[in-house]
Amino acid sequence: MIAEELRSTPQRRAVLEVVQHAQDHPTAAEVLERVLEVLPGVGAATVYRSLAMLVESGQILELRLGPSAATRYDRNVENHDHLVCDQCGRLADVQVGLDPTELLNAVSSHHDFQVSGFDLRIHGRCADCSSATSPRRSTHA
């Protein structure tokens, strides 16, 4: 029952570094790619394990889109929301500035649910996809 200690290894530091410095929302594969530039030889499994650990400890966020799309990771832990293009799957951060603290508290008591946070996804079409003539197939679902 003793809490396992979380060790600081070069791999974990590199993964965190990569995600925190990313300007986009990289997939695990992209994170691996970038980590490899700094720490050649790192295994994919290690990256997956590190990402899971960072998500669990709240240092980064994970975002899933369509059924067969890879999970993406987000450095920004500040309250912010996401713009999701349903057409091409592109992801962007937005600051909507919602503060539904009261609502969340209400939900919490009404539903016997311990709220830890929330995530607002705004769906639609990005500029590029809006201009496309007749959208039909979606990348993300």
Residues near its own copies, by CB under 8 A: 1, 28, 48, 52, 55-56, 62, 64-67, 71, 83, 85-86, 92, 94, 96-98, 100, 103-104, 107-108, 111-127, 130, 134, 138, 141
Neighbour tally for 11: CB within 10 Å? 17
What residue type is 113 in one-letter code?
F
State the Cα–Cα distance between residues 93 and 103, nearest whole angstrom.
23
Can residue 89 be called a binding residue for DNA (CB under 7 A)? Answer: no
# residues near DNA by CB under 7 A: 29
Task: Please check whether residue 77 is in contact with residue 94, taking contact to mean a CB–CB distance below 8 angstroms.
Answer: no
Answer yes or no whether residue 88 interacts with DNA by CB under 7 A: no
Contact between 72 and 26 (Cβ < 8 Å)? yes
Q: Burial level of 82, CB count in 10 A (0-12/13-18/19+)? A: buried
Selection from DNA, its own copies, none that 5 binds (CB < 5 to 8 A by kind) is DNA
Give the one entry of DNA, its own copies, none that residue 103 binds, where binding means its C-beta sits below a cut-off of 5 to 8 angstroms depending on kind: its own copies
For DNA, the binding residues (CB under 7 A) are 4-12, 27-29, 39, 41-46, 48-50, 52, 66-68, 70-71, 141
